[in-house]
Structure 1
Amino acid sequence: MNNVAKLLTALAIMGSLAGCARTAPIANVHSTVSSGHTQSQVKNAILKAGQERKWIMSEAAPGVINARQQSRDHMAEVRINYTATSYSITYANSQNLKASGGKIHKNYNRWIYNLDKDIQLNLSAGSDL
Protein backbone atom coordinates (compact mmCIF):
# COMPACT_ATOMS: atom_id res chain seq x y z
CA MET A 1 0.00 0.00 0.00
CA ASN A 2 2.87 2.37 0.79
CA ASN A 3 4.39 1.86 -2.69
CA VAL A 4 1.07 2.68 -4.34
CA ALA A 5 0.84 5.95 -2.39
CA LYS A 6 4.40 6.88 -3.42
CA LEU A 7 3.64 6.10 -7.05
CA LEU A 8 0.44 8.18 -7.02
CA THR A 9 2.28 11.06 -5.34
CA ALA A 10 5.05 10.94 -7.94
CA LEU A 11 2.50 10.89 -10.77
CA ALA A 12 0.63 13.83 -9.26
CA ILE A 13 3.84 15.87 -8.99
CA MET A 14 4.86 15.05 -12.56
CA GLY A 15 1.40 16.00 -13.82
CA SER A 16 1.40 19.31 -12.01
CA LEU A 17 4.86 20.16 -13.31
CA ALA A 18 3.80 19.37 -16.87
CA GLY A 19 0.77 21.63 -16.44
CA CYS A 20 3.00 24.50 -15.37
CA ALA A 21 5.07 24.49 -18.56
CA ARG A 22 5.95 28.05 -19.41
CA THR A 23 6.51 27.52 -23.13
CA ALA A 24 4.26 26.41 -25.96
CA PRO A 25 4.59 26.16 -29.74
CA ILE A 26 4.70 29.60 -31.36
CA ALA A 27 1.21 30.55 -32.55
CA ASN A 28 0.69 32.11 -35.95
CA VAL A 29 -2.80 33.22 -36.95
CA HIS A 30 -4.31 32.91 -40.43
CA SER A 31 -7.87 34.24 -40.60
CA THR A 32 -10.29 34.81 -43.43
CA VAL A 33 -12.41 37.94 -43.54
CA SER A 34 -16.07 37.76 -44.49
CA SER A 35 -16.98 39.30 -47.80
CA GLY A 36 -18.05 42.89 -47.94
CA HIS A 37 -14.94 44.40 -46.32
CA THR A 38 -12.39 46.53 -48.09
CA GLN A 39 -8.65 46.31 -47.51
CA SER A 40 -8.86 49.67 -45.77
CA GLN A 41 -11.51 48.37 -43.36
CA VAL A 42 -9.37 45.34 -42.53
CA LYS A 43 -6.39 47.62 -41.92
CA ASN A 44 -8.45 49.87 -39.65
CA ALA A 45 -9.77 46.86 -37.71
CA ILE A 46 -6.18 45.66 -37.15
CA LEU A 47 -4.94 49.11 -36.08
CA LYS A 48 -7.90 49.62 -33.73
CA ALA A 49 -7.39 46.19 -32.12
CA GLY A 50 -3.69 46.90 -31.70
CA GLN A 51 -4.38 50.25 -30.10
CA GLU A 52 -6.93 48.71 -27.71
CA ARG A 53 -4.40 46.04 -26.67
CA LYS A 54 -1.55 48.58 -26.41
CA TRP A 55 0.44 47.20 -29.36
CA ILE A 56 2.72 49.68 -31.14
CA MET A 57 1.60 49.44 -34.77
CA SER A 58 3.42 50.78 -37.82
CA GLU A 59 2.60 50.36 -41.48
CA ALA A 60 5.63 48.75 -43.16
CA ALA A 61 4.20 48.59 -46.69
CA PRO A 62 0.80 48.37 -48.36
CA GLY A 63 -0.87 45.34 -46.82
CA VAL A 64 1.76 44.93 -44.09
CA ILE A 65 1.76 46.15 -40.49
CA ASN A 66 4.57 45.57 -38.01
CA ALA A 67 3.38 45.37 -34.42
CA ARG A 68 5.24 45.34 -31.12
CA GLN A 69 4.00 44.42 -27.65
CA GLN A 70 6.02 45.45 -24.58
CA SER A 71 5.24 44.17 -21.10
CA ARG A 72 7.82 45.01 -18.44
CA ASP A 73 11.06 43.48 -19.78
CA HIS A 74 9.26 41.18 -22.26
CA MET A 75 8.82 42.15 -25.90
CA ALA A 76 7.25 40.52 -28.93
CA GLU A 77 7.19 41.68 -32.55
CA VAL A 78 4.85 40.33 -35.21
CA ARG A 79 4.19 40.98 -38.87
CA ILE A 80 0.57 41.31 -39.95
CA ASN A 81 -0.14 40.79 -43.65
CA TYR A 82 -3.66 41.66 -44.75
CA THR A 83 -5.95 41.91 -47.76
CA ALA A 84 -9.68 42.53 -48.09
CA THR A 85 -10.28 38.79 -47.65
CA SER A 86 -7.73 37.63 -45.06
CA TYR A 87 -4.99 38.50 -42.61
CA SER A 88 -2.19 36.67 -40.88
CA ILE A 89 -0.24 37.39 -37.70
CA THR A 90 3.26 35.90 -37.85
CA TYR A 91 6.00 35.83 -35.22
CA ALA A 92 8.95 38.07 -36.09
CA ASN A 93 11.08 38.58 -32.97
CA SER A 94 11.03 38.61 -29.18
CA GLN A 95 13.06 39.34 -26.07
CA ASN A 96 12.88 37.52 -22.72
CA LEU A 97 10.10 35.19 -23.91
CA LYS A 98 12.18 32.00 -23.97
CA ALA A 99 11.84 31.65 -27.75
CA SER A 100 13.75 28.60 -28.92
CA GLY A 101 13.15 25.62 -31.16
CA GLY A 102 9.73 26.79 -32.33
CA LYS A 103 8.51 27.37 -28.76
CA ILE A 104 7.91 30.56 -26.80
CA HIS A 105 6.53 31.70 -23.45
CA LYS A 106 2.81 31.00 -23.36
CA ASN A 107 2.02 34.70 -22.73
CA TYR A 108 3.05 35.41 -26.34
CA ASN A 109 0.29 33.12 -27.61
CA ARG A 110 -2.22 34.78 -25.28
CA TRP A 111 -1.23 38.21 -26.68
CA ILE A 112 -1.65 36.94 -30.26
CA TYR A 113 -5.01 35.26 -29.66
CA ASN A 114 -6.34 38.37 -27.88
CA LEU A 115 -5.22 40.57 -30.77
CA ASP A 116 -6.88 38.20 -33.27
CA LYS A 117 -10.10 38.13 -31.21
CA ASP A 118 -10.25 41.94 -31.14
CA ILE A 119 -9.60 42.18 -34.89
CA GLN A 120 -12.50 39.78 -35.47
CA LEU A 121 -14.74 41.81 -33.15
CA ASN A 122 -13.84 45.03 -34.95
CA LEU A 123 -14.58 43.45 -38.33
CA SER A 124 -17.94 42.14 -37.13
CA ALA A 125 -18.85 45.63 -35.83
CA GLY A 126 -17.96 46.93 -39.29
CA SER A 127 -19.65 50.28 -39.42
CA ASP A 128 -17.06 52.14 -37.31
CA LEU A 129 -14.19 51.18 -39.60
Structure 2
Amino acid sequence: MMHRRDALRRVLPVLVAIGGGIGLGACRDQPVYEATNGQFQGRGSLAEREALIRRAAASQPGWSVQSMRPGLLRATNTWRSHQMTVDIAFDVRTFSIRYVSSVNLEYDGARIHQNYNTRVQALERAIMAGGGAAMPVSSGGGRGNLDAVPVSGPVVSGE
Protein backbone atom coordinates (compact mmCIF):
# COMPACT_ATOMS: atom_id res chain seq x y z
CA MET A 1 0.00 0.00 0.00
CA MET A 2 2.84 2.44 0.77
CA HIS A 3 4.35 1.93 -2.64
CA ARG A 4 1.22 3.23 -4.31
CA ARG A 5 1.11 6.31 -2.12
CA ASP A 6 4.78 7.07 -2.71
CA ALA A 7 4.37 6.56 -6.45
CA LEU A 8 1.31 8.83 -6.47
CA ARG A 9 3.19 11.53 -4.53
CA ARG A 10 6.00 11.44 -7.08
CA VAL A 11 3.77 11.34 -10.15
CA LEU A 12 1.10 13.82 -9.06
CA PRO A 13 3.24 16.99 -9.43
CA VAL A 14 4.28 15.87 -12.90
CA LEU A 15 0.66 15.27 -13.90
CA VAL A 16 -0.37 18.67 -12.54
CA ALA A 17 2.45 20.37 -14.46
CA ILE A 18 1.50 18.60 -17.70
CA GLY A 19 -2.18 19.45 -17.22
CA GLY A 20 -1.33 23.09 -16.52
CA GLY A 21 0.82 23.27 -19.61
CA ILE A 22 -1.97 21.87 -21.75
CA GLY A 23 -4.41 24.33 -20.19
CA LEU A 24 -2.15 27.30 -20.86
CA GLY A 25 -1.60 26.19 -24.44
CA ALA A 26 -5.35 26.24 -25.01
CA CYS A 27 -5.56 29.86 -23.77
CA ARG A 28 -4.12 31.34 -26.94
CA ASP A 29 -7.33 33.11 -27.81
CA GLN A 30 -7.99 36.67 -26.66
CA PRO A 31 -10.66 39.31 -27.17
CA VAL A 32 -10.33 40.84 -30.65
CA TYR A 33 -8.12 43.94 -30.45
CA GLU A 34 -9.31 47.01 -32.31
CA ALA A 35 -7.11 50.08 -32.58
CA THR A 36 -9.35 53.11 -32.13
CA ASN A 37 -8.39 56.78 -32.15
CA GLY A 38 -4.77 56.16 -33.10
CA GLN A 39 -3.04 59.51 -33.46
CA PHE A 40 -0.78 60.44 -36.37
CA GLN A 41 2.36 62.43 -35.62
CA GLY A 42 2.55 65.95 -37.05
CA ARG A 43 0.43 67.32 -39.85
CA GLY A 44 -0.40 65.78 -43.19
CA SER A 45 -2.96 65.56 -45.96
CA LEU A 46 -5.25 62.58 -46.46
CA ALA A 47 -2.99 61.36 -49.29
CA GLU A 48 0.07 61.67 -47.04
CA ARG A 49 -1.70 59.71 -44.29
CA GLU A 50 -2.55 56.95 -46.76
CA ALA A 51 1.08 56.81 -47.91
CA LEU A 52 2.21 56.60 -44.28
CA ILE A 53 -0.15 53.67 -43.59
CA ARG A 54 1.09 51.89 -46.72
CA ARG A 55 4.72 52.38 -45.62
CA ALA A 56 3.88 51.05 -42.15
CA ALA A 57 2.19 47.97 -43.65
CA ALA A 58 5.15 47.40 -45.98
CA SER A 59 7.48 47.50 -42.97
CA GLN A 60 5.62 44.59 -41.33
CA PRO A 61 5.70 40.99 -42.61
CA GLY A 62 2.83 39.68 -44.73
CA TRP A 63 0.65 42.78 -45.23
CA SER A 64 -0.94 43.86 -48.52
CA VAL A 65 -3.13 46.97 -48.74
CA GLN A 66 -6.01 47.87 -51.05
CA SER A 67 -7.72 51.26 -51.34
CA MET A 68 -11.46 51.04 -50.75
CA ARG A 69 -12.28 54.77 -50.92
CA PRO A 70 -10.67 57.98 -49.63
CA GLY A 71 -10.02 57.48 -45.91
CA LEU A 72 -10.48 53.69 -45.97
CA LEU A 73 -7.93 50.98 -46.71
CA ARG A 74 -8.40 47.21 -46.50
CA ALA A 75 -5.29 45.36 -45.33
CA THR A 76 -4.73 41.61 -45.47
CA ASN A 77 -2.00 39.69 -43.68
CA THR A 78 -1.20 36.14 -44.76
CA TRP A 79 1.22 33.63 -43.24
CA ARG A 80 1.33 29.83 -43.48
CA SER A 81 -2.34 28.70 -43.54
CA HIS A 82 -3.61 31.82 -41.74
CA GLN A 83 -5.12 35.01 -43.08
CA MET A 84 -6.61 38.09 -41.50
CA THR A 85 -8.26 41.14 -43.03
CA VAL A 86 -8.78 44.51 -41.36
CA ASP A 87 -10.20 47.87 -42.39
CA ILE A 88 -8.08 50.92 -41.64
CA ALA A 89 -10.24 54.04 -41.50
CA PHE A 90 -8.37 57.34 -41.25
CA ASP A 91 -8.56 61.10 -41.55
CA VAL A 92 -5.77 63.67 -41.31
CA ARG A 93 -5.47 63.30 -37.51
CA THR A 94 -6.57 59.81 -36.46
CA PHE A 95 -6.92 56.21 -37.64
CA SER A 96 -8.61 53.02 -36.50
CA ILE A 97 -8.04 49.35 -37.33
CA ARG A 98 -11.07 47.03 -37.22
CA TYR A 99 -11.52 43.30 -37.78
CA VAL A 100 -13.13 42.25 -41.09
CA SER A 101 -12.43 38.52 -41.45
CA SER A 102 -9.95 35.74 -40.76
CA VAL A 103 -9.04 32.20 -41.79
CA ASN A 104 -7.68 29.60 -39.32
CA LEU A 105 -7.48 32.04 -36.39
CA GLU A 106 -10.26 30.49 -34.30
CA TYR A 107 -12.50 33.60 -34.39
CA ASP A 108 -15.74 32.97 -32.50
CA GLY A 109 -17.42 36.36 -32.79
CA ALA A 110 -15.60 37.89 -29.81
CA ARG A 111 -12.28 36.08 -29.34
CA ILE A 112 -9.47 35.24 -31.72
CA HIS A 113 -6.01 33.64 -31.72
CA GLN A 114 -3.38 35.87 -30.10
CA ASN A 115 -1.43 36.14 -33.38
CA TYR A 116 -4.20 38.37 -34.76
CA ASN A 117 -3.79 40.85 -31.90
CA THR A 118 0.00 40.70 -32.10
CA ARG A 119 -0.02 41.59 -35.82
CA VAL A 120 -2.65 44.34 -35.47
CA GLN A 121 -0.76 45.92 -32.56
CA ALA A 122 2.52 45.80 -34.51
CA LEU A 123 0.81 47.51 -37.47
CA GLU A 124 -0.68 50.12 -35.14
CA ARG A 125 2.75 50.86 -33.62
CA ALA A 126 4.33 51.13 -37.09
CA ILE A 127 1.66 53.63 -38.18
CA MET A 128 2.07 55.73 -35.01
CA ALA A 129 5.85 55.68 -35.46
CA GLY A 130 5.46 57.28 -38.85
CA GLY A 131 5.64 54.17 -41.04
CA GLY A 132 9.34 54.45 -41.88
CA ALA A 133 8.95 57.89 -43.45
CA ALA A 134 11.97 57.57 -45.73
CA MET A 135 10.72 54.38 -47.44
CA PRO A 136 8.92 55.08 -50.74
CA VAL A 137 5.86 52.97 -51.50
CA SER A 138 4.77 51.82 -54.95
CA SER A 139 1.50 53.18 -56.25
CA GLY A 140 0.30 49.73 -57.22
CA GLY A 141 1.23 50.20 -60.90
CA GLY A 142 -1.92 49.08 -62.68
CA ARG A 143 -2.85 46.46 -60.09
CA GLY A 144 -5.54 48.59 -58.50
CA ASN A 145 -3.39 49.65 -55.53
CA LEU A 146 -3.47 46.14 -54.10
CA ASP A 147 -0.05 46.10 -52.50
CA ALA A 148 2.09 48.16 -50.20
CA VAL A 149 5.47 47.30 -51.65
CA PRO A 150 8.74 49.01 -50.78
CA VAL A 151 10.76 49.94 -53.84
CA SER A 152 14.53 50.24 -53.97
CA GLY A 153 14.85 53.09 -56.47
CA PRO A 154 13.01 56.31 -57.16
CA VAL A 155 9.26 56.11 -57.59
CA VAL A 156 8.42 56.70 -61.25
CA SER A 157 4.93 57.70 -62.22
CA GLY A 158 3.31 55.90 -65.16
CA GLU A 159 1.30 59.03 -66.05
Normalization by structure 1: what TM-score? 0.81
Moved more, 38-47 or 99-108: 38-47
1:22-78: CA deviation from partner (whole Å, max 9, x where unpaired): 211111001122442322222111101112223110000000000101111100000
Query: Which has the larger strand fraction?
Result: 1
Higher helix share: 1
Query: Shift of the alpha carbon at 1:18?
Result: 4.7
Q: Which moved more, 1:50-59 or 1:63-72?
A: 50-59
2:43 maps to 1:36: yes
Query: Distance between the aligned counterparts of 1:121 and 1:33, measured in 2?
Result: 8
Of structures 1 and 2, the larger Rg is shown by 2
The alignment status of 1:49 with 2:56, answered yes or no, reads yes
Q: Point out 4+ residue stretches in structure 1 off by more than 6 angstroms.
A: 2-5
CA contact (8 A) 2:39 2:128 kept: no
State the identity %: 23
Residues 113-122 or 71-80, more deviating: 113-122
Greater shift in the superposed pair: 89-98 or 43-52: 43-52
Distance change (3 Å), C-alpha of 1:72 and 1:127:
closer
The alignment yields a C-alpha RMSD, in angstroms, of 2.5
Counterpart check, 1:87 vs 2:95 = yes
How far did 1:4 drift? 9.4
CA–CA distance in structure 2, aligned partners of residues 91 and 110 of structure 1? 13
Question: Is residue 2:69 matched to residue 1:61?
Answer: yes
